[in-house]
Structure 1
Amino acid sequence: MTASHSDSNIQKKVVVAACFGTFLEWYDFLTFASLATYFGVLFFPADDPVAALLASLGTFGIGMIVRPLGAALFGSLGDRHGRRTIFLVTIVLMGLATVCVGLLPTYEQVGLLAPALLLFLRMLQGLSVGGEIGGASVYLTEHAPEGRRGLYTSVLQLMGPLGMMASTLQIVVLQHFLDDADFKTWGWRIPFLLSAVLLAISIKSRLNLHESPVFRHLREKNALAKAPLRDCLRDKQTLGRMGLLFFCISAGGSLIFFSAQVYTNVFLKTVVKLPAAQASGLVMISTLALFPATLFCGWLSDRIGRRPVLLTGLICGALAIFPVFQGLLHYGTLPTPDTTMLTLLLLVLVVPLACITGPQTATLPELFPARTRYTAVALPHNLSAGWIGGMSPFMVTWLGVQFASPLAGLWYPTVLLIMATVVGYFFLPEVANRPLED
């Protein structure tokens, strides 16, 4: 077997293992988001439906808020002890927490203990995702062939849409075969319990992983960081780029993702009042469209650079969110909802999302030096995704309630995307295909 053929086989195994594990992370994480409207009455007092929905969305947001803690912990461990071990830990933690959600008693059964347990498991999910997402970007990029990192690593970004699609498809099928009472009683548990099968497959695939060649090289040179977080904060260039990652790339990507793929589902169900199965089906169509669009944008970033593709996504996202949701409200509340227009409007948000997600995986590791890369990527990315993007469904809903307008809250992602565009325009460097050994 030639060296190049051997390298190709290793790269394929890395892609399969990293992507499948990330798929499980997102499947677990987004199943919770998809069922947020049900959790409001299952785990919280049902006498005030609006308060119950806000509490459910807030619990989803808590999982995002603790992500930075997981990033700091697992990022430092990944820079000191290797990427492979951390992948195993994060996937086991995430999988077990998700299976336990499917076993929880409801508020009607045990009272306040139910939301307390749900909150605890949600926090465990957040911790594991904090270690997983940035680390997967680093691990996959460090194995990627030069000159094709954008396309090669964009596959990882498909795992979010794929996890959402699998989760949504399960829920649509369950809602089709079960009446509403059965689904609320026990049917909602099935997607969580099936995570046990996915967890077993993911653990097996990750046990076959090889350590990153960049990390092995650092270890051979005895150049590993002893205190990665401290080193990141002391290096001005690294700290500056962590700030850029927080305010620009990760903030923009997470805001568009949650606006386009999470909040749209909630909005169509609770504001537009579409049947749950129809709303989930429409969002799934836009999710499918993300697959080719993300790959194309990853490939494009290899050809023209990461910077122009990312800035295009930020600008288009800032311009599109408000009119898209206005259109969803208009065409969805007609006497006969116009499903064609609803679908087209959802597809509009696919464009800016693909422009961010396509080059994002490769861009994050390319911004930072090898010895502190895991920490430098994971911490600001999860801070931004958790504190800005993860809270956006709650903030949009809360602002809508405060101003008695279902659209008022959309100024939250719109204004922040404008800020991210300004930061990116002035400070985002071109880092396409820079040497990763540095």
Structure 2
Amino acid sequence: MSASDVAATHREPTEKEIRLVIAASSAGTIFEWYDFFIYGTLAGLIGAAFFPSGNETLQILLVWAGFAVGFGFRPLGAILFGFLGDRLGRKYTFLVTVTLMGVATAGVGLIPDAATIGLAAPIIVIGFRILQGLALGGEYGGAAIYVAEHAPPEKRGFYTSFIQASVVGGFVLSIAVVLTCRALIPPEDFAAWGWRVPFLLSIILLAISLWMRLKLSESPVFQAMKAAGETASNPFVESFTFPGNKRRIFVALFGITGVLTTIWYTAFFSGLSFLRGPMRVDEGVVEWMLLVAGLIAMSFYIVVGRWSDRIGRKAPIILGGGLALILLFPVFWGMGQLANPGLAEAAERTPVVVTGQDCTPDPFAELFGREQSDCGKLLDTLTSSGVRYDLRDGERPGVTVGGEAVSLPGAWFDDGAALREGVRASLTQRGFDFSVQTPPMGNIIGIVALLLVMGMLSALTYGSVAALLSEMFPPRIRYSSMSIPYHIGAGYLGGFLPLIAGIIVARSGDIYAGLWYTWIVVAFGVVVAWFGLPGGPPRDFEER
């Protein structure tokens, strides 16, 4: 008897069972992404604890490098857990992944800082990030497929959209926990040790997730395949040898994941870094704005998922990607004007011009023992301060503000902190404001609205993806075939985005230049999706 014959005679899950499946899978996904995102939410304090440096730009780049390492191991986790999911089952595989994630996250909260154990601290952090990346590589595919294989075809986009919304939910939960801890713990104590509490809370979330997921039964599709003896012997190999699958993997990698992941991380993590960093907005205000925007945006994913059940999966992705190419730069320009209008006005009123030789910032010079040029140090200082500048050749490093020369004592270039404080003090005297910003309420509402625009673009390209990827691949190798391209795309194209964008900004001096990375990846992905995805109503793999 074939798997399709067994599936036909297998009892369909009841509405109550499906609701439990969605609730347990979504809750586990929220908790697991919370574990992964709490690192990025607390990036500033993570940097101070484990990657201390006198160079602000280098310190935050090292934090984002640690962030990227976790993403770099997601494809390996996808291969490992995809193999187990296609061989042993969906349920038990993502029980393993959520356990691994919870233990690794709690471990970060227990590591002594670099001041206590030196270089061992960042090395251990990187080790735990690797474990988190492996776990996350198996989580998404398992949860998405598990829900998709329980859902009736006409509601698959709607039901799986809760998994997509849960990814945002993990980010929102991380912010909510941080805000709660900030409210309960004095600022000095939170900076010293309180930031560890959100990591340690992962143990409680792990217990809740395991309790919920242990109530679930195996996917009916997997049960049918197992009963018919049609499970894959080597899902990884079959993913690349099954007829037409290489093309499907290519489309899934660039036309689906490349688009959704770069828009997602630009919307939330680039927005977070942009507002906290060069715009100098108060951390608590930034967290509240992202919390509100994230909570509202979660509903967008569900609306888009349900919409895709009627019009198909391709149209929302093409629409969201195309709009992102048009709106990406205007949205961030708008946030910059609203978040710190004085900085933008000062730059227009009194333009900054830098002169010198060898004027190429090298943010990793300190890390690799290289000597950065004086002009490079100066540009790095201006970039980390959110100041835009024009660059011209000159005999020696110099800065003019509105045509007036700024005094730059030679001793400043031997001390990064002295150079940073000295330059900022000089610019402050000429109308620049580097104080922590709390925008007026009208501006805050405007920023939240612009974040919601990015949230809508993300929802259009992400809301139907779990259903789409499940429908693209045959059941016997579905876990592996969808997890591999998804986590390569999300791991490298998306996970490295904060680091790559940060390097682009550091090397160019333009706080908006990092957006070009997102624009190029999305532009290529839209072309692939246009030609590679089927149009029309949703169709299961077997029906093609």
TM bucket (normalised to shorter chain) is over 0.9
Change (3 A) 1:202 1:323: same
Aligned mate of 1:251, from 246, 255, 258 = 258
Which range is displaced more, 204-213 or 177-186?
A: 177-186
1:280 Cα deviation (Å)?
A: 1.0
Matched residue type, 1:181 = E
Distance in 2 between residues matched to 1:136 and 1:155, nearest whole Å: 10
Residue of structure 1 equivalent to 2:454 = 349
Q: Please tell me the residue identity of whatever aligns with 2:530.
A: Y
Which residue of the other structure, out of 85, 97, 100, is the alignment partner of 2:92?
A: 85
Does 2:228 correspond to 1:221? yes
Task: Give the letter for the 1:152 counterpart.
Answer: Y
On the 8 A contact 2:157/2:306 being kept in 1, the answer is: yes
Equivalence for 1:401: 506
- Contact map agreement 1:231 1:372 (CA 8 A) in 2: yes
Q: 1:236 to 1:6 in 2, by over 3 A?
A: closer
Residue pairs, 1:30-429, within 5 angstroms:
30-335=37-342, 337=439, 338-429=443-534
Once the two structures are TM-superposed, the CA of residue 46 in structure 1 deviates from its matched residue by 2.6
Name the SS for the 1:349 alignment partner: helix
Verify the 8 A CA contact 2:98 2:135 in the aligned structure 1: yes
Equivalent position amino acid for 2:153 in 1: E
Q: Hey, what's the Cα distance between the residues in 2 that align with 1:390 and 1:416?
A: 13
- On the 8 A contact 1:328/1:342 being kept in 2, the answer is yes
Partners of 2:310 and 2:537 within 8 A in 1? no
Instruction: Point out the more displaced range, 376-385 or 35-44.
Output: 35-44
How many Å separate the matches in 2 of 1:345 and 1:352? 11
1:169-227 CA distance string (max 9 Å, x none): 12123223434321111110111111111101111111111111111111111111101
Task: Report the secondary structure of 2:260's partner residue.
Answer: helix
Q: 2 CA distance for matches of 1:6 and 1:231? A: 29
SS at match of 1:408: coil
Secondary structure at 1:147 match in 2: helix
Conservation of the 8 A alpha-carbon contact between 1:370 and 1:437: no
TM-score, L = length of structure 1 = 0.96
Conservation of the 8 A alpha-carbon contact between 1:305 and 1:430: yes
1:282 Cα offset (Å): 1.0
Q: Please tell me the residue identity of whatever aligns with 1:348.
A: V
- State the aligned residue count: 436
Return the alpha-carbon distance in structure 2 between the equivalents of residues 339 and 16 of structure 1: 33
Unaligned segments of structure 1, at least 5 residues: none
Which whole-Å deviations, capped at 9, do the CAs of 1:303-350 have from their partners, x for residues lacking one? Answer: 111111111111112222211111111221124732222122111112
Q: Cα RMSD (Å) of the superposition?
A: 1.6
Q: Give the aligned residue type for 1:144.
A: A
What code does the residue aligned with 1:247 have? F
Tell me by how many angstroms 1:11 deviates.
1.1
Over alpha carbons, which structure has the higher Rg?
Answer: 2
Q: Is the 8 A contact 2:105 2:199 kept in 1?
A: yes
Q: By how many angstroms is 1:9 displaced?
A: 2.2
Contact 1:102/1:193 (8 A) holds in 2: yes
Residues of 2 paired with 1:410 and 1:12: CA distance? 39
TM-score, normalised with respect to structure 2 = 0.78
| Distance in structure 1 (CA, Å) of the matches to 2:246 and 2:191 | 47
Output the CA distance in 1 between the equivalents of 2:485 and 2:57. 32
Segments of 5+ residues of structure 2 without an aligned counterpart are 1-9, 343-437
Report the CA distance between 1:281 and its aligned residue: 1.0
* Residue of structure 1 equivalent to 2:23: 16
The one-letter code of the counterpart of 1:127 is: L
CA contact (8 A) 1:311 1:425 kept: yes
SS at match of 1:46: coil
- The CA distance in 1 between the partners of 2:313 and 2:176, in whole Å, is 33
- Report the alpha carbon displacement of residue 430 of structure 1 after superposing the two structures with TM: 3.6
CA–CA separation in structure 2 for the residues paired with 1:432 and 1:15: 23
Distance 2:39 2:104 in 1: 12
Q: Following TM superposition, by how much is the alpha carbon of 1:432 offset from its aligned partner in structure 2, in angstroms?
A: 4.9
Instruction: Find the aligned partners of 1:436 and 1:238 in 2 and give their Cα distance.
Output: 11
Q: Distance in 2 between matches of 1:236 and 1:406?
A: 46
Give the percent of matched residue pairs that are identical in Structure 1 and Structure 2: 35
The structure with more helix, counted as a fraction of residues: 1
Q: What is the letter of the counterpart of residue 350 of structure 1?
A: G
- Distance in 2 separating the partners of 1:9 and 1:346: 35
Cα distance in 1 for residues equivalent to 2:229 and 2:305 = 34
Which amino acid in the other structure matches residue 472 of structure 2?
L
CA contact (8 A) 2:13 2:150 kept: no
CA contact (8 A) 1:269 1:275 kept: yes
Aligned 8 A contact 1:88 1:206 in 2: yes
**Change beyond 3 A, Cα 1:295–1:317:** same
Q: 1:149 to 1:169 in 2, by over 3 A?
A: same
Distance 2:312 2:241 in 1: 29
Deviation at 1:434, TM superposition (A): 2.6
Cα gap change, 1:314/1:16 in structure 2, threshold over 3 Å: closer, same or farther? same
